[in-house]
């Protein structure tokens, strides 16, 4: 089969489109023939070496497709079932062997493309809004990269939960899109004193939670947007990793909390994974959350997808088509 692999870390050009031998699925594994592959910012961290993987390696962690073969011991799935996964490496490929208990069935009415675009990003939004910091109706909250893949899902789901949501974007052309996906206020990071604006919008109080996937560039400002005893949720680093900090900073800014969550630790058991996915599929089915796939690339063009994502040219979700 064809797959994108890396033999060294670096820029998008290290992504190689290669012939790969996929072994039969092992015990408790399922071979999934991919129909759509999700592109996520974490894939760029793996490629660049910010998050280390043993090399050479497959890349990508999210895909949808059809069950093609079962390894020994698999009783929960059968060939032909439509499934998706988030968090198993090697998704940038025509097929992948995935542990059966990391697969979720795609419900009727949800296309494979939507599943590949939504599962990882949408389950992330689920745990951020409901479990890392359980937002309450009427609270004003802040989310960075509002027009991004996670961002467009977040804005809609937050609106559904009744929050007043402030989003940030990097350029004016993304403002209307964010506004039409649930954000009540959209601030341009590159033009505005966004910390001051957040204080104004909260009558000086600050927000009880900041969801910050941008990292290095927004870390300091995000802490300054928080209310006393507020929660800094640092869940990504699209602008670079947050440098080490002294915990004393949290006392001077009002007894703040900081967490650095990952989807893996919120979908640790098969039951948690299924519940999180069910919650996502429910908001998609109800129409509360619509999935925007705004970029499609061929699998062989994964490097172009990474270039677009990292140069802040994309909005919503990006998928690769094998």
Q: How far is the CB of 75 from ligand NAP (least distance, A)?
A: 30
Binding status of residue 38 toward ligand NAP by CB under 6 A: no
Residue 80: CB minimum distance to ligand NAP, A: 30
Binding ligand NAP (rule: CB under 6 A), the pick from 25, 65, 261, 322 is 261
The window from 2-10, 53-61, 141-149, 156-164 that contacts ligand NAP (CB under 6 A) reads 141-149
- Which residue stretch of 102-110, 199-207, 209-217, 299-307 sits at the interface with ligand NAP (rule: CB under 6 A)? 209-217
Count, residues near ligand NAP per rule CB under 6 A: 32
Q: Does 267 bind ligand NAP (CB under 6 A)?
A: no
Q: List the 164-169 sheet strands across, edge first.
A: 185-188, 164-169, 140-143, 207-212, 226-234, 257-259
Which residues pair with residue 105 across a beta bridge? 83
Rounded to 10 degrees, what is the CA torsion of 63, 69, 74, 80? 70
CB of 234 to ligand NAP, least distance (A): 9
Residue 214 touches ligand NAP, criterion: CB under 6 A: yes
Q: What is the 3-state secondary structure (H, E, C) of the chain?
A: CEEEEECCCCCHHHCEEEECCCCCCCCCEEEEEEEEEEECHHHHHHHHCCCCCCCCEECCCEEEEEEEEECCCCCCCCCCCEEEEECCCCCCECEEEEEHHHCEECCCCCCHHHHHHHHHHHHHHHHHHHHHCCCCCCCEEEECCCCCHHHHHHHHHHHHHCCEEEEEECCHHHHHHHHCCCCCEEEECCCCCHHHHHHHHCCCCCEEEEEECCCCCCHHHHHHHEEEEEEEEECCCCCCCCCCCCCHHHHHCCCCEEECCCHHHHCCCHHHHHHHHHHHHHHHHHCCCCCCEEEEEEHHHHHHHHHHHHCCCCCCEEEEEC
Q: Work out whether 166 is an interface residue with ligand NAP (CB under 6 A).
A: no
**Binding-site member from 129, 233, 280, 309 for ligand NAP (CB under 6 A):** 309
Q: Which of 239, 267, 276, 295 binds ligand NAP (CB under 6 A)?
A: 239
Give whichever of 154 and 281 is closer to ligand NAP, judged by the CB atom: 154
174 part of the interface to ligand NAP, by CB under 6 A: yes
Check residue 236 for interaction with ligand NAP (CB under 6 A): yes
- Of the residues 64, 169, 187, 201, which one makes contact with ligand NAP according to CB under 6 A: 169
Binding test (CB under 6 A) with ligand NAP, winner from 263, 284, 305, 320: 263
User: In terms of CB distance, is 163 or 314 closer to ligand NAP?
Assistant: 314
Residue 262 within binding range of ligand NAP, rule CB under 6 A:
yes
- With respect to ligand NAP, which residue has the nearer C-beta, 22 or 217? 217
Q: Which residues bind ligand NAP (CB under 6 A)?
A: 40-42, 120-121, 124, 145, 147-151, 169-171, 174, 189, 213-214, 217, 235-239, 261-263, 309-310, 312, 314
């Amino acid at each position: 089969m064809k797959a994108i692999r890396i033999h060294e870390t670096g820029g998008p050009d290290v992504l190689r489109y290669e012939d790969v031998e996929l072994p039969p699925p092992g015990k408790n594994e399922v071979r999934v023939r991919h129909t759509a592959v999700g592109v996520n910012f974490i894939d760029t961290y793996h490629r660049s070496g910010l998050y280390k993987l043993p090399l050479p390696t497959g890349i990508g962690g999210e895909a949808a497709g059809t069950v093609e073969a079962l390894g020994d011991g698999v009783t929960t799935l059968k060939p032909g079932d439509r499934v998706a996964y988030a968090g198993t490496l090697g998704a940038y490929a025509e097929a992948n062997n995935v542990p059966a208990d990391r697969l979720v069935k795609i419900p009727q009415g949800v296309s494979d493309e939507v599943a590949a675009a939504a599962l990882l990003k949408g389950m992330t939004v689920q745990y951020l809004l409901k479990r890392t910091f359980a937002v309450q109706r009427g609270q004003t909250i802040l989310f960075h990269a509002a027009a991004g893949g996670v961002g467009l899902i977040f804005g809609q789901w937050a609106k559904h939960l009744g929050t007043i949501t402030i989003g940030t974007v990097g350029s004016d052309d993304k403002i209307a899109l964010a506004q039409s996906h649930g954000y009540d206020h959209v601030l341009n990071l590159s033009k505005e004193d966004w910390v001051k604006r957040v204080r104004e919008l909260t009558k000086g109080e600050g927000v009880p939670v900041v969801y910050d996937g941008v990292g290095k560039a927004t870390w300091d400002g995000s802490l300054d947007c928080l209310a006393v005893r507020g929660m800094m949720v640092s869940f990504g680093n699209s602008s670079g990793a947050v440098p080490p900090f002294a915990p004393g900073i949290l006392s001077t800014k009002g007894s703040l909390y900081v967490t650095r969550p990952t989807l893996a630790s919120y979908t640790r058991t098969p039951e948690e994974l299924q519940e999180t996915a069910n919650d996502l599929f429910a908001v998609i089915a109800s129409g509360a959350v619509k999935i925007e796939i705004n970029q499609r690339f061929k699998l062989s063009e994964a490097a172009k997808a990474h270039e677009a994502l990292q140069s802040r040219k994309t909005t919503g979700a990006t998928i690769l088509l094998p």
